[in-house]
Amino acid sequence: MPIPATPAETGAVSPSVATLSDVQYHEAVQAALSRIERTVDRWLEDDVIDIDGARTGNMLTLSLPDRSQLIVNAQPPLQELWLAARRGGFHFKLDATGAWRDSRSGQEFFALLSECASEQSRVTLQF
């Protein structure tokens, strides 16, 4: 069962906000990374899947049982959150509703992260 996100975790901002301050961007990134870490910790506790999470600053590497990886990385100059997976690389921007959206497809970050993690692990996972 996924952990529900709070507005702070999604980096929720007022729909009228067009751009983020550096502080808002940093808080939104930290909230997203923390949400991922908490979810992985719970999966480990509940013996759902053995994923190793390693965080260095604003980069989180998730190593899956088959040795594949998912890498989530902040890109402060662009105010983006990047995801590297077997399926490719994705760039997300925080939209006015507080959701991280892929700059090409518009797909929400946690939905795409869940799809990639499920594909690579062969276990249905939802962040």
Q: For residue range 5-47, list pLDDT tens digits in order.
A: 444 444 443 332 348 899 999 999 999 999 999 999 999 999 9
> What pLDDT score was predicted for residue 2?
45
- Cross-strand partners of 80: 75, 93
> What pLDDT score was predicted for residue 19?
81
**pLDDT tens, position by position, 63-119:** 999 999 999 999 999 999 999 999 999 999 999 999 999 999 999 999 999 999 999
Determine the 3-state secondary structure of 69 from DSSP.
strand
- Rounded to two decimals, the pTM is 0.84
Q: What ranges do the domains of the chain cover?
A: 7-121
Going by C-alpha positions, the residue among 91, 125, 96 that lies closest to residue 109 is: 91
**CATH for the stretch 7-121:** 3.30.920.10
> What pLDDT score was predicted for residue 14?
34
Contact 35, 99 (CB under 8 A): no
